[in-house]
Amino acid sequence: MRRSMARFSRRDDDAEINLTPMLDVVFIMLIFFIVTATFIKEPGVDPLRPAAETADPKPGVAMLVGITSNDEIWIDNNRVQPQAVRGNLERLVAENPMGGLVVQADRGARNSILMEVLQAARAVGIERIAVSTED
């Protein structure tokens, strides 16, 4: 009888809380937030945007195109030739068909470059297009 009592007292001393289920839940939540998070994309340049009297914020932007004062076009941190803009926009639309496009054109950029980007966006089928301005 003394043996059985000794066993019980040892078990009580070795009793621990099992954290494995809690860690499983934490990792599942982490994976959920990573998968569902919307990552901010950068065009690759930070142009000096023109000022505007009427500016409305556009939530849910998935595509950014930057145009520098040297008329360089940047998409996803890569410099793009004007004839390759449409192909890059098609790729972005394939990744996120419901996303909108924001063009960040520098004040010194030529309007013809901006118009080429806007025409390529329309040709791809992007309906929500905005030009970024300073507040």
Mean pLDDT by 10 residues, the chain (135 residues): 54 72 91 74 63 61 83 88 91 84 87 91 88 76
101 three-class SS: strand
Q: Same domain for 125 and 81?
A: yes
| CATH at residue 114 | 3.30.420.270
CA 73 to chain centre: 19
Residue 96 falls within a domain, yes or no?
A: yes
Q: Which residue range(s) make up the domain with 84? A: 61-131
- Helices 111-124 and 85-95, axial angle in degrees (round to 10): 40
Residue 44 falls within a domain, yes or no?
A: no
> Would you give the DSSP letter of residue 134?
B
pTM of the model: 0.59
